[in-house]
């Protein structure tokens, strides 16, 4: 009934402290889930809410609760045959992390005609204590609730807690694990609200301020309005401690593994959690969902965590989703233990999208990245094509030539060519030709061996006759191929 009146029902209950006559008011919930589906709220297990039972008939095993729920669905179909064979989505919160997997598993293994299970969703659920107890230290350190040294100490203590979670000794296991985290959150009355770390704990146990919803639901006026039976001894409570006490035998059980056959079958499974919740935080949810053994486990583990935005508000990030095939795990931003109460728009669009598509798709951005670093290639020298009729231009940066590379025959008495940047003298009748860098400028095709006297004479003649040289061209142009800037 808390979900019906404060989270996703057609009306939101408002406790008006400023007025005495209109202290209790109800307002229309525009983000109600019955905008896109027929929603039915069930008080279960027996003894919670308006349901009642005798002391010795309280349930202490999930298998009993699952059988009771299937009987309820069977009888409901008889009274309302128009819902026969319609798809059913089981959605629960908090300790429903035990209820939902066990009920869904029971329906899967013991199918009945008319009951069509279409999907299961768990919000901030207590599913696998082995992983979720150990996540308290990391989550507290991430949110600066404890120091790094404190985290290391708690790491050792929670290792002991995990050992007893495997052994599973009733009451003892729960006591050891509770004591392991007692320095983070004092049981009953911690410094912060364990359901929303942004707030202070102001009430023993539930931490949230008392909204006096119990006064409304226990009044004769509203019971008559909602057609509720007025039975002696029946009193609505937010949390029935007797029912909770009977289920302590089941508190540390792991029910995550029961989702594996449903996932393998292709049934849509959604796990969502508010990022401000401590008691069933997103760190522990991420650990147990990664550790869940099913056919797509490896692919799910290596799936990217991507951004998700609700359709009603595409401007801001609504959460971070990790999804593979029919398994979706999402962390909702700025939400505590009760996501529909803290973020009604995001919760509404999330469940609506999941029911319509069977999954939660990441947000697809319309823009493409502006900066793109191309794969640069080595600069390419833009050389002109060599033609036999045209002389080859000599590069401006002359390279000194070794004597061994001189192809011109030289007498033994001849002085070696000078290693400088000047051109070697040539005969007047010969046309100077530029050669590649690997050839000596003094090379001449028609020149044979010359004497020292002829060399001196040609030098004197060259000094008298000005040398006819062509101006050097500019340095070779190095061109880089144009790269298309990918605005992707």
pLDDT tens for 200-220 read 998 888 888 888 888 888 888
> Count of CB atoms within 10 A of residue 446's CB?
9
What does the pLDDT look like over 129-161, one tens digit per residue?
999 999 999 999 999 999 888 989 999 999 999
Per-residue confidence (pLDDT) for residue 367, from 0 to 100: 56
* Mean pLDDT in residue range 414-438: 43
The count of other CB atoms within 10 Å of the CB of residue 120 is 26
Burial (Cβ within 10 Å: 0-12, 13-18, ≥19) of residue 425: middle
**Average confidence score pLDDT of the chain:** 79
Superfamily covering domain 2-128+211-357: Alpha/Beta hydrolase fold, catalytic domain (3.40.50.1820)
Whats the size of the chain, residue-wise?
488
Listed in sequence order, the residues at least 6 apart from 106 whose beta carbon sits closer than 8 Å to its beta carbon are 63, 66, 67, 69, 70
> In this predicted model, what pLDDT tens digit does every residue of 228-250 receive, in sequence order?
766 666 788 888 888 888 888 88
- CA 260 to chain centroid, in Å, comes to 21
* From 68-82, 245-259, 308-322, 376-390, the region with the lowest mean pLDDT: 376-390
C-alpha span between 201 and 193 (Å, rounded) = 4
Q: pTM for this one?
A: 0.73
Burial of residue 33 (CB within 10 Å: 0-12, 13-18, 19+) is buried
**Distance (Å) of CA 102 to CA 66, 68, 117, 130:** 6, 11, 13, 17
Cα–Cα distance measured from residue 335 to residue 123, given in angstroms and rounded to the nearest whole number: 11
DSSP 267: -
What pLDDT is attached to residue 66? 94
Beta strand pairing status for 24-28 and 11-15?
A: antiparallel
pLDDT digits (tens, 9 = 90+) for 247-293: 888 888 899 999 999 999 999 999 999 999 999 999 999 999 999 99
* Domain segments of the chain as ranges: 2-128+211-357, 368-427+434-439+448-463+472-488
């Amino acid at each position: 009934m808390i979900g019906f009146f404060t989270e996703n029902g057609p009306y939101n209950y408002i406790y008006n402290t400023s007025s005495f006559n209109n202290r209790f008011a109800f307002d229309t919930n525009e983000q109600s889930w019955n905008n896109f589906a027929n929603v039915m709220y069930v008080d279960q297990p027996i003894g919670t809410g308006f349901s009642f039972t005798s002391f010795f008939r309280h349930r202490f095993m999930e298998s009993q609760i699952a059988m009771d729920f299937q009987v309820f669905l069977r009888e409901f179909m008889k009274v309302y045959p128009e819902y026969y064979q319609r798809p059913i989505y089981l959605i629960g919160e908090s300790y429903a992390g035990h209820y939902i997997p066990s009920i869904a598993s029971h329906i899967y293994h013991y199918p009945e005609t008319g009951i069509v299970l279409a999907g299961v969703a768990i919000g901030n659920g207590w599913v696998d204590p082995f992983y979720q107890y150990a996540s308290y230290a990391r989550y507290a350190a991430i949110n600066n609730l404890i120091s790094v040294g404190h985290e290391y100490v708690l790491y050792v203590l929670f290792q002991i807690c995990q050992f007893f979670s495997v052994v599973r000794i009733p009451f003892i296991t729960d006591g050891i694990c509770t004591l392991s985290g007692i320095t983070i959150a004092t049981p009953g009355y911690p410094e912060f609200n364990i359901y929303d770390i942004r707030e202070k704990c102001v009430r023993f146990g539930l931490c949230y301020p008392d909204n006096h919803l119990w006064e409304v639901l226990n009044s004769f006026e509203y019971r008559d309005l909602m057609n509720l039976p007025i039975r002696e001894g029946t009193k609505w409570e937010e949390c029935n401690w007797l029912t909770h006490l009977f289920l302590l035998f089941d508190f540390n059980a792991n029910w995550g593994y029961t989702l594996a056959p449903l996932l393998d079958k292709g049934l849509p499974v959604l796990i969502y959690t508010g990022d401000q919740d401590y008691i069933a935080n997103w760190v522990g949810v991420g650990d147990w969902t990664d550790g869940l053994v099913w056919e797509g486990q490896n692919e799910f583990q290596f799936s990217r965590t991507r951004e998700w935005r609700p359709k009603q508000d595409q401007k801001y990030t609504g959460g971070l989703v990790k999804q593979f095939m029919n398994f979706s795990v999402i962390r909702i931003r700025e939400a505590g233990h009760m996501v529909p109460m803290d973020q009604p728009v995001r919760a509404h669009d999330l469940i609506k999208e999941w029911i319509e598509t069977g999954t939660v798709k990441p947000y697809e951005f319309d823009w493409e990245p502006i900066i793109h670093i191309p794969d640069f290639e080595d600069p390419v020298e833009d050389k002109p094509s060599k033609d036999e009729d045209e002389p080859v231009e000599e590069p401006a940066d002359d390279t000194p030539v070794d004597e061994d590379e001189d192809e011109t025959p030289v007498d033994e008495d001849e002085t070696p060519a000078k290693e400088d940047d000047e051109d070697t003298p040539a005969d007047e009748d010969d046309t100077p030709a530029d050669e590649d860098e690997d050839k000596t400028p003094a090379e001449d095709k028609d020149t044979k061996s010359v004497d020292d006297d002829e060399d001196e004479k040609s030098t004197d003649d060259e000094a008298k006759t000005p040398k006819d040289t062509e101006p050097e061209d500019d340095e070779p142009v190095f061109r880089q191929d144009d790269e298309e800037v990918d605005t992707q």
